[in-house]
Structure 1
Amino acid sequence: MKFLDIFMAFFRVGILGYGGGPSSIPLVHKEAVEKYKWMDSEEFGDILALGNALPGPIATKMAGYIGYRVGGIFGMVNALIATMVPTIIMMILLLKFLNAYKDQSWVKGMSAAVVPVVAVMLAVMTWDFIKKSTGSQLGWGWTLLFVAVSLLLMEFLHIHPAVIIFALLLAALLKKNSVSQEKGKGSS
């Protein structure tokens, strides 16, 4: 049953994730966190951050990791197949169809309508992450500072998000190590 759940979860993501990674991330969150409860939102955020720092499509990276975590090697292969096969089939069919009717106004309108829907899905997920981070040790002040600095670095200085994520992970690791060393000195 677990492998069927893995397959169905990522098959739905593969079928409904029109628009690539940004549109599939909220769908993966819905399946892995809300429906099947394979992890909580904080763990999902960590996986998403790490997946964004690595090269390649985010949907397959997340499917591979979550599938492996839930069902081992077979779960990983299962999740990857479930994610990729519908996309490949739909892409071939959709491109053939769109190419046949590309000059029609309804095809142009349909393609343009996807953009705001994906933007709303990403905005809802971003708001959820902001709410969760303010409830953690960060609080509103640090959360808003990180959002503002990240926006500045990405939009105006054109720094890749992976560099920012890596720097924050490294800073958290160094801070954790320095706190652990101070506690070790204090107990001696």
Structure 2
Amino acid sequence: MRKLHRAAMVIAAFAIVGLTAPAAPATAAEPVDKHCVARANVAEPQAICFDTFDKALQFASGGVLYDLPKGSSVAAKVDALNAKFGVNVVNTVISIEYTGSNHTGSDLIWVGQSGNCSTSTGNTDYTISSMPAGWDNVITSYRAYANCWIKHFENTGHGGAVVGYEGTRSYIGGALDNRTSSQRWS
């Protein structure tokens, strides 16, 4: 009886003091994908980011893309953007880089002002010697547009391991997965 009385006293003391079982740890917020745009052929590319892909693509288009049907595919949206400009090219989407495989995760839309890439891969149509802030060593997949083929380099200044010239890839491969630091388009 004494043990039962002591146990009741301990429980009452906890209730008075307000001690309770420890709360479950707070769960971390799900990572939010970012949708960014950067210009190729500049010394230090800067990424400008948005909360949706459509907003990023509209920015990349200079405001031209605002009327595409809801649910349009990424390819349809980019093709519409690139077709709008004809001879007087403003911006051309040359590739979209993704942080996840199969074109998922955060995305970086690369734009250029010189139109489509030439057919030959013996020249360089667009280049960047370093990735924008937040985009170094995070690329896992990519899509190529505007007749461009892409080379991904491990180091800044186009050094180290290389993959390419290649078109769209749902996985860049183990040699450069999360290791891209510079790029060329041809």
Please tell me whether Structure 1 or Structure 2 has the larger radius of gyration of its CA atoms. Answer: 2
TM > 0.5 fold call: no
Pairwise TM-score range, normalised by the shorter structure:
under 0.3
The TM-score normalised by the length of structure 1 is 0.23
User: Relative contact order: is structure 1 or structure 2 higher (C-alpha 8 Å, sep ≥ 6)?
Assistant: 1
Larger strand fraction of residues: 2
The TM-score normalised by the length of structure 2 is 0.23
